Amino acid sequence: MAEKNYYIDASNMDFETACGHARNTIAEAMKILQLEPASMLYLSICEMVPINDKDVTVRLATVNAGGQIQLQWNPYFICRLNDPSELAFIFFGESLRIALHHATHRRGLPAAPHKFASDLI
């Protein structure tokens, strides 16, 4: 059976169309993450928000001074992935950031070394 390639050249698509294609990859990534119930628990408290910012891939952001957590994703980035397992790996890493309260409690300056430390953890 041939494997499905999820890569789509979305560079010429409008934002909403790219979001539609990206949601298919997100759904497949979430199926993979069902094998990690703790990860799914942390991701379930996030609001999944598409963002049209060329500098964003996938990131956590907080709303209302550390309240609600958003998992922001760029559909153009997700459409460039070849396999949903790549996105599942990224989402798993972001779920660890939530578990460690990095999304809501990290206010250290300068930000770059603190983000690097978070990546290492």
Instruction: Quick: pLDDT tens for 81-91.
Output: 999 999 999 99
The two three-digit tokens of residue 30, written as one number: 């979430």
Whether pTM > 0.95 for this model: the answer is no
| Average pLDDT, integer, range 62-80 | 85
Contact call for residues 22 and 14 (beta carbons, < 8 A): no
CA distance linking residue 19 with residue 85, whole number of Å: 18
Edge-first strand order for the sheet with 58-63 is 46-50, 68-73, 58-63
pLDDT of residue 116: 75
The answer, yes or no, to whether residue 65 has pLDDT greater than 70, is no
23 or 63: which leads in pLDDT: 23
